[in-house]
Amino acid sequence: MNLKSWAVGRSAAGKVAAILVAGALIAGCSGSGGGFTKNYQKGYMLPEGALEQIQIGASQEQVLVILGTPSTVATVSGEVFYYVSRKTSQTSFLPETVRDQRVVAVYFDKSRRVNRVANFGLQDGKVFDFVSRTTPSGGQELSYLTYIFKIIGTQ
């Protein structure tokens, strides 16, 4: 083998190796194979079918047994248990992207019985209740929910 054919064979092998390495890097970063994409669940994880178990008129103790300890409690105008969660994903070195944010709110009357259940999330950039299928109007409740979504949006 002469020097010229050795150099040509070596450069062809180098090109093939470079193409294989580049292909592996591109496939890994694409996220389709799940190689470098990680999913995260932060906060409260709502058990399957748990909201359906919360009946109007149920006691606070029953809610605590079914849903567990709330993320936060409000006592401004009646007592409310808030269960806050956030789902994100991150691909490689890119920043995390928010896939879903939820605040489950259980409202109690003066006798500590459930009078309303709501499952708030963001739809089209606005706070939306996925149980009653409505967007809350202004007032104290909306400002508190907006505050919660801003807090979990920055973490």
Q: pLDDT by residue (tens digit) across 26-83?
A: 555 554 445 588 998 888 888 889 989 999 999 999 999 999 999 888 877 678 998 9
Helical ranges in 31-139 per DSSP H: 50-53, 60-67
Same domain, 25 and 47: no
Confidence of residue 3 (pLDDT cuts 50, 70, 90): very low
Same domain, 51 and 17: no
Same domain, 58 and 78: yes
Q: Give the pTM.
A: 0.61
Around Cβ 61, how many Cβ atoms within 10 Å? 9
Same domain, 82 and 24: no
Range of the domain at 130: 37-154
Position with higher pLDDT, 1 vs 43:
43
Same domain, 146 and 73: yes
Return the residue matching tokens 């606070």.
60
The stretch 84-104 carries a mean pLDDT of 86
Secondary-structure breakdown of the chain: helix, strand, coil percentages, each rounded to the nearest 5: 35, 35, 30
The stretch 94-115 carries a mean pLDDT of 88
Same domain, 81 and 136: yes
Q: For the chain, give the percent of residues with pLDDT over 90.
A: 23
Same domain, 108 and 44: yes
pLDDT of residue 31: 46
Position with higher pLDDT, 99 vs 128:
99
Cα 30 to Cα 27, 77, 79, 108, 110: the distances in Å are 5, 49, 47, 47, 54
